[in-house]
Amino acid sequence: MNNKTFAILALALALVPGFDAAAGSLENLERERAILVETMLAPDMPAQQRAEKIAQSRTRLVDLERMVLRDGSLAGKATPVVRSAFENYDLTFLVHAATEKNLAMADHWLEQIGLTTNALMSARVGRR
Amino acid sequence: MILALECSSTISRGRLARTAGALLALLLASTALAGAASASETGQPAWEPRVVERLVKLPGTHLKRAIDNDFAGSQLGGALVDTEGQIGGKLKSMAELQKAVERAEGEVRTELRHQFLAEKKDYIKLVGARLDLKRRQLKTSQRLYDALLKRMDQTGAGATPEQISVAAKQEEARRRFEKSLAEVDTRLFAADAARETKYGREHAKNMAAVEQLVQAIRQHPMSAGPELDGQPVSKQDYVRSLQAQTDADLALVDQEELILGHMAKLVALDAMALSEEIDAPESVADPDNRPGDVTRAVGLFITR
């Protein structure tokens, strides 16, 4: 895509009525958490870099989680995203739940999705 | 002179009889056509409320008040008040006429009875008009409440089961967060592993202020939610109870129309009785001295 096409596309998007790039607090939290999980699972990242990125994510996530918990506009909103977010506190509010249980964020997240040490150790290859 | 007086008396009785007959015919015609007349009238006073976003968002108790105020300011509301005022005045004049009829005698009494019947007819017509206006008000209210409920379902102003479930989960999450906040803060920030950002602090301060204001609004007496029999109910349930009340009022209007029908029948019968009374005198007055009695002339024929 050349520069001219890109500029036309950007202008067209800006002029389309109702086009709104602003996201709610929950969407911001989901995005930041997705970045954290991607960082945790990145296979080629050096350990030092991974630790730094996770620390930065944690700082942002603390604020975002508190914003979501105090966001009055989400009260009673029965959309699938909101319903799913509040159905599982431990997965949504990762930093607070992990700190509550005194676990590292990665450990807490893996535990929540069922990837515990015992489960991995007792896994074996076989036919169903 | 006596003959002249008799003639004028006969003429006035005849005029009265014709008037009573005309009254009777008019009464029967107006009673029979009452329904058709009111249905075919155009240019009647109107009330056309609309369901706007502001009405949907009003608290339950204010909703009813807003609707009542809107009706009171409409043409239909004004017409209803005027009609009720006229009915009150008509009742007073009918009561006075009734007393006058009891005191009067002879021709004056007949004339007063005739006036009384005319007043009753006007009263029935006024009450019929009032019931018609009342029915239109109630039908419009029914349509308004239906539209309001539909709009509430669309905007979620009332609590659906999913919303109640999500709200409960949010409350549970908030309680868990508040319970562990102090401990989490200690673990997060004590080891310098993470510092609360300036944005986080300011945001928390602002949110605390917002929560205090929201709490004050919730506790304000004017923002109390709707109640039924002392129990708090959702706005949708409150609007449904208003619908049920409107249906009950419509049933009462039907009953009042039935009563009015019976009144009209009674007035018609009274008019018939009055008409017969006025027509009857020449045929029954002094049966022993009728001019057409041939036996009165026998004496003239048997003497020479």
Instruction: Give tens-digit pLDDT for A19-34.
Output: 444 468 899 999 999 9
Long-range contact pairs involving B275-284 (C-beta distance under 8 Å, separation at least 24): B275/B17, B275/B20, B275/B21, B275/B23, B275/B24, B277/B110, B278/B13, B278/B16, B278/B17, B278/B20, B278/B110, B279/B17, B281/B13, B282/B10
In a domain, A21, yes or no: no
pLDDT tens per residue across span B53-100: 777 777 777 888 889 999 999 999 999 999 999 999 999 999 999 999
Q: Is the ipTM of this complex over 0.90?
A: no
If you measure CA to CA, which chain B residue comes closest to A105?
Answer: B188
Q: How confident is the model at residue B171 (pLDDT cuts 50, 70, 90)?
A: confident
A3 is a domain residue:
no
In a domain, A16, yes or no: no
Out of B166, B172, B195, name the one closest to residue A78 (CB): B166
Q: Does A59 have pLDDT greater than 80?
A: yes
Q: Do B170 and A74 touch (CB under 8 A)?
A: yes
Model pLDDT, residue B122: 94
- Is residue A94 in some structural domain? yes
Structure confidence at residue B297 (pLDDT): 72
User: What's the pTM?
Assistant: 0.51
Picking from A29, A58, A83 by the largest number of B CB atoms within 10 A of its own CB, the best residue to mutate is A83
Best residue in B154, B177, B235 for a mutation probing chain A (most A CBs within 10 Å) = B177
Q: Does B209 touch chain A (CB under 8 A)?
A: no
Q: Confidence class of residue B189 from pLDDT cuts 50, 70 and 90?
A: low
B225 close contact with A: CB closer than 8 A: no
Chain A contacts to B (CB-CB under 8 A): 55, 58-59, 62-63, 66-67, 69-70, 72, 74-78, 82-83, 86-87, 89, 93, 95-96, 99-100, 102
Q: Judge: A86–B194 Cβ closer than 8 Å, yes or no.
A: no
Nearest to B166 among A58, A83, A95 (CB): A83
| B34-51 average pLDDT score | 63
Within 8 A of B211 by CB-CB distance, chain A residues are 70
Which of A59, A63, A72 lies at the smallest CB-CB distance from B214? Answer: A72
Q: Which residues of A touch B172 (CB under 8 A)?
A: 86, 89
A vs B: CB pairs below 8 A: 77
- Tell me the CA distances in angstroms from B271 to B19, B113, B192, B260, one per residue in order: 10, 9, 102, 16
Give a yes or no: residue A49 inside a domain: yes
Cβ-Cβ contacts under 8 Å, B182 against chain A: none
Return the closest-CA partner of residue B170 out of A92, A61, A102, A33: A92
DSSP B232: E
Chain B contact set for A66 (CB, 8 A): 177, 200, 203-204
Please tell me the distance from the alpha carbon of residue B194 to that of residue A62, in angstroms, as a whole number. 9
Q: Distance between CA A124 and CA A119 in Å, rounded? A: 10
Residue A5 lies in a domain: no
Residue B208: predicted pLDDT: 79
| Residue B153 pLDDT | 72
A1 found inside a domain: no
- Between A38-47, A99-108, B149-158, B237-246, the lowest mean confidence (pLDDT) is in B149-158
Question: DSSP per residue over chain A, as a string?
Answer: --HHHHHHHHHHHHHSTT------HHHHHHHHHHHHHHHHH-TTS-HHHHHHHHHHHHHHHHHHHHHHHT-GGGTT---HHHHHHHH-HHHHSHHHHHHHTT--HHHHHHHHTT--HHHHHT------
Of the candidates B170, B183, B210, the beta carbon closest to that of A86 is on B170
Please name the member of B166, B184, B196 whose beta carbon is closest to the beta carbon of A96: B184
More confident residue, B132 or B203: B132
Tally of domains in chain A: 1
Query: Domain of A104?
Result: 26-122
pLDDT for position B181: 79
Rounded distance, CA B187 to CA B194, Å? 9
Q: Note whether residue A68 is domain-resident.
A: yes
Question: Does the pLDDT value for residue A95 go beyond 60?
Answer: yes
Check pLDDT > 50 for residue A12.
no
